[in-house]
Amino acid sequence: MAENTLLPPPRGPAPHLAEAEPPRGHALLAAAVVVVGSAVLGVLAGLIWAAVAPRVVYQVYTLKPPTAYAINPETSAFIAADGTYCLIAVAGGIIIGLLGYVFILRYGPVLMAGVAVGATAAAFVADWIGHWATGGPTFDNVLASSKPGELLRAPITLGAHGAIAFWPLAAAVVAGGIELVGVMRARRAAAGVPRTDGPGR
C-alpha cells in the first residue's frame, strides 16, 4: 500500500496558471502617459474653443477709469461660449476614455485613476488656454490703451465652472462603461447564459 504513494501523477494538461500581473511601476507609467496625453489634448481643445466660440464685443466708454460696455447686452455669446466648451469637453472626454481603456485592458483598473486625473487636468488646461489664446491676460492693458468709442472683442471665459465636470464624466462613462460591458459578458459566458443578441447568434 505504501508503494502506491510513490506513483507518478497522472498525465494530462498542466493546471492553469494565473497570468502574472504587470509590474506596478509599469502601471504607474501608463497612468502618467494617460495624464500627459490628456493634458496635451486639453491644449488642443482650448485652441479649438478659442477659434470657434463666439465672443462678446465691447465698446470703450471712458479711460478714467478704463470702462467698456457690451454693444448688445442681450447677446447670447456668453452662454454660447459655455455651450461650445461643453461640446468640446464631451468629445475630449470620450477620446480620453477610449485611450484610457486601451491601457486598462493591460494594466487593470488602477488606470481609471489616471483617466480621472487626466480628464480633470485637460478640463482646466482647455479653460486656461482658451482664455489665454483670446487675449485674456492682456485685455485690461488693451482696454487701458484704447480710445473711447473703440470696439474690443472680449476674451472667452468659462462662466459655468460646472462645465469642467463634463471632461471626467465623459471619460469615466466611456472607459468604465466598456469595462463593465466586458465584465458582464464574461460572467454570462462563465455561467453558460445564452446570448440574446438576436436570432441565430
Tell me, yes or no, whether 108 lies in a domain.
yes
Answer yes or no: is 19 within a domain.
no
Residue 178: count of CB within 10 angstroms of its CB: 16
User: Within a domain: residue 20?
Assistant: no
Give the chain's domain count: 1
Is residue 180 in a domain? Answer: yes
Got the DSSP string for 116-180? HHHHHHHHHHHHHHHHHHTTTTTHHHHHHTSPTT-EEEPPP--S-GGGGGHHHHHHHHHHHHHHH
Q: What's the predicted TM-score (pTM) here?
A: 0.77
Asked if residue 5 is part of any domain, the answer here is: no
What is residue 21's predicted lDDT score, i.e. its pLDDT?
57
- Domain assignment present for residue 4? The answer is no
Structural domain contains residue 68? yes
Q: What pLDDT is recorded for position 12?
A: 47
Q: Which domain holds residue 143?
A: 27-189
Query: Please, what are the averages of pLDDT over each run of 10 residues along the chain (201 residues)?
Result: 51 45 74 93 98 93 88 85 96 93 79 91 97 94 91 92 95 85 76 58 45
